[in-house]
A and B are shown apart, each in its own frame.
Chain A
Amino acid sequence: DVKVTQSSRYLVKRTGEKVFLECVQDMDHENMFWYRQDPGLGLRLIYFSYDVKMKEKGDIPEGYSVSREKKERFSLILESASTNQTSMYLCASSGSGANVLTFGAGSRLTVL
């Protein structure tokens, strides 16, 4: 079965800390995405990547960066976490020529 795994389900960090959220997919998908989910706002795209070492900004990239060194892994980085980055972060992937996203279970980040 197709799988997207987010290694950290719950994280608590302090303001100013550097935070890494990791996502791994086992489907050999070209495209990977990081979304942020907040109540009443739905899902908003932070960054996506359509190939190794390639990345594109989504709708809300400020305060975030990403890394894709291997096809199966897509990392979201918060260089200096702030309280307004407290949220649920969802990773997803899709194959080339397909528009169907497969999501991970999410990483809930709390920044104190």
Chain B
Amino acid sequence: AQSVTQPDIHITVSEGASLELRCNYSYGATPYLFWYVQSPGQGLQLLLKYFSGDTLVQGIKGFEAEFKRSQSSFNLRKPSVHWSDAAEYFCAVGAPWVNTGKLIFGQGTTLQVKP
């Protein structure tokens, strides 16, 4: 079955520290991969996406993610976290051969930032 797993439900980091949020997927082929962020009381905003090509992708707000086919992973990273990064982060996958935008989401990781 197709699925997305975010192993960490909740992560706390200090402001200025580096961040890595994990995402693993189970899919029949290499899917399209996404990271979305949800600030409190808001909808989801796209951080970055991977469709093909360079496996290291850059996104907004200083985030990047690396696609590793051998590990079926698409981990999100940021070198220095800011207090405004506190939010919930969702990894998602989509079928590359069906361009409808229908995505499967992970359970989400809540990021808390300590001053």
Contacts and interface: CB of A to CB of B under 8 A. Distances in A.
B43 A105 contact: yes
Interface centre among A90, A99, A102 (most CB of B within 10 A): A99
Nearest to A4: B43
A45 B42 contact: no
A112 interface: no
A86 B90 CA distance: 21
Interface in B5-53: 6, 9, 32, 34, 36, 41-46, 49, 51
Given A94-B100, A97-B99, A98-B101, A42 B107 contact: yes
A73 B4 CA distance: 29
B49 A90 contact: no
Given A40-B9, A42-B108, A105 B42 contact: yes
Nearest to A101: B101
A43 B90 contact: yes
Contacts of A92: 43-44, 101
Contacts of A97: 99
Contacts of A31: 100-102
Contacts of B90: 42-43
Given A43-B105, A90-B43, 15 more contacts: A33-B102, A35-B105, A40-B107, A42-B4, A42-B90, A42-B106, A42-B107, A43-B44, A92-B43, A93-B101, A98-B99, A98-B101, A99-B49, A101-B101, A105-B41
